[in-house]
Amino acid sequence: MPTYLARAFRWHRQSIIIHCIVQNLDDCSPNWISSPSASACILQSFSSLYNFPPPATTTAPFTLVEEYDPCDLSSDSAPYAYVADHVVKIDLSCDVADEIKKYDDGKQEGLLEKLRDEIEKGEKVKWYVIVCGDEERGWPGKDEDEEGEEDEEGDEEQVEREKGGD
């Protein structure tokens, strides 16, 4: 499962839902905001509302990260997501101190705290290890249609094998 080290704050799911409704963000699912379309939509809203650099720049100031455990069947999403200004994918041998130093050497002074004060005042900005067991969720549309075609081809191959075995 992908694991990330992130300097972030927790954005509570109820606040995410309210943000999406009030800002009329029809193109995103508030229960899974790390998908590319939902993330772009929300980050663009931050840019418009709070005058942050737009997400289309080569180094967007924020990243939205979800934590998810596919073995936990009690919920379809965590009670919060993370808004981060530094995210790095890590493995078992990650040098955490080195990653924090890299952040400190090039940090963007106060942007994350400013956003936190706008959307989730009172949350602490700190370092988190975030595990996401389901980064790529299926979305209705073209990709699903393509998967369906592959499934149909697989079904046809299965039928042919069964006919040959009779």
pLDDT in tens, 1-33: 789 999 999 999 999 999 999 999 998 889 889
> Distance between CA atoms of 131 and 67, rounded to whole angstroms?
5
Domain total for the chain? 2
CA distance from start to end of the chain: 42
Residues 35 and 110 in one domain: yes
pLDDT at 140: 44
Residue with tokens 């955490």, as numbered in its chain: 96
CA angle (35, 142, 32) in 5-degree steps: 20
Residues 129 and 148 in one domain: no
Q: What's the DSSP call for residue 67? A: -
Residues 166 and 97 in one domain: no
CB atoms within 10 A of CB 42: 27
> Distance between CA atoms of 30 and 17, rounded to whole angstroms?
5
Residues 49 and 83 in one domain: yes
pLDDT at 123: 97
Residues 34 and 71 in one domain: yes
Residues 131 and 152 in one domain: no
> Distance between CA atoms of 112 and 86, rounded to whole angstroms?
10
Q: Please give the residue range of the domain that contains residue 69.
A: 3-135
The pTM of this model reads 0.76
Q: Which helix (H) or strand (E) holds 22?
A: helix 13-22
Residues 63 and 93 in one domain: yes
125, amino acid identity: V
Residues 85 and 160 in one domain: no
Whether pLDDT at 57 is above 80: no
pLDDT in tens, 97-129: 998 998 888 776 788 999 999 999 999 999 999
Residues 30 and 53 in one domain: yes
Residues 17 and 62 in one domain: yes
Residues 154 and 122 in one domain: no
Residues 97 and 146 in one domain: no
pLDDT at 56: 64
